Amino acid sequence: MTFLACRIYKTDEGVEHRLEQMKVDALCAGDVLIRVHYSGVNYKDALAASGRGQILKSFPLNGGIDLAGVVVESDSPDFKVGDEVLVNGCGLGEIHDGGLAQMARVPADWVMPVPDGLSLKDCMILGTAGFTAALAIHRMQENGQTPEKGPVAVTGASGGVGSVAVDILAKLGYEVVALSGRREFDDYLKQLGANNVCSAESLALGKKPLEKGMFGGVIDNVGGELLAQLIAHTHLWGNVASIGLAGGHKLDTTVFPFILRGVSLLGVSSTNCPMPLRRTIWQQLGNQFKPTHLDSILTEVVPLSQVSSAFNDLIDRKKHGRIVVDCQQ
């Protein structure tokens, strides 16, 4: 049996991906064989496939850190043929053959049933981006974040993580300030529930160690100087969830917001999230965290055979929201 896969190689010229036919026997070892119905294109997937980021730990591997599909073989008592399942993170598409393929074989302890309230396609509209947004909000709420603390700023708001974060926060009753430098998506972000859409520059954020409180909390995809400024502008006992580094990986700040305002800086790591918490987050995504505007967050569905075009589009910021890959089309 052969199937189509987006396989990533390291050559003398660098890292490149190829769409090619491969056999099941060539897949990484695992307990559960899955016919992949849908995957997605995350920023990390685009970096890996284009060679513009050092994501893969070994070569060659099939790309794709997410998948949703149906079990076709199982050596695990936890899963049987015909079960609808999903996998996100856990090393998929980094140390193990990933979801940008028509078939995937993975360890059973990476697999979870598709939650009630979500379809296979819904799971990949969300994908790691949606999971990460939900994980950030979960951590913030567990640490006392409430709508009464004030507006929550979301940076990189038109991207996959940002879009889902805006939608969930609005659904939960938070006032949302969507920060985006892509003004063509103002109406889109307002449709998702943002109360205010603006650029970071328009806020005239200060650079003092401690600035006037403007936000009850922050979900940040940018890092760097903007993250430092937002921390300094966070109200008493607010939470700042750090998710990305699109603007830089360094953080130049002081302890003042933490020791004088009780601000908490929360790290959000989706790849190695413990499985019990991972299951909880996905169950929330099928229930109280399920975005109201999933269809709007879905920007495009591309067949696996045409996935190459999506990688550079995502890196070059030509897309917003989420790109889903139909692996069986």
Q: How confident is the model at residue 17 (pLDDT cuts 50, 70, 90)?
A: very high
Whether residues 11 and 37 share a domain: the answer is: yes
The H or E element spanning position 257 is helix 256-260
**Owning domain of residue 186:** 126-267
Q: What's the whole-number average pLDDT of the chain?
A: 96
**What tens digit of pLDDT does each residue of 216-250 get?**
999 999 999 999 999 999 999 999 999 998 889 99
8 lies in the same domain as 105 = yes
Residue 47 and residue 88 in one domain: yes
The predicted pLDDT at position 276 comes to 97
Q: How many domains does the chain have?
A: 2
Copy the structure tokens of residue 206.
């200060």
- pLDDT score for 246: 85
Tens digit of each residue's pLDDT (9 = 90 or more) over 249-305: 999 999 999 999 999 999 999 999 999 999 999 999 999 999 999 999 999 999 999
Q: Cis check for the bond before 209: say yes or no (omega within 30 of 0).
A: no
| DSSP letters for 122-156 | HHHHHHHHHHHHHHHHHHHHHTT--GGG--EEEES
How many CA within 13 A on the CB side of residue 305?
A: 4
Shared domain check, 134 and 109:
no
Rounded mean pLDDT of 95-122? 98
pTM given for the model: 0.96
Quickly state the pLDDT bin for 315 (edges 50, 70, 90): confident
pLDDT at position 141 is 98
Domain with residue 233: its CATH number is 3.40.50.720
Region 89-99: mean pLDDT is 97
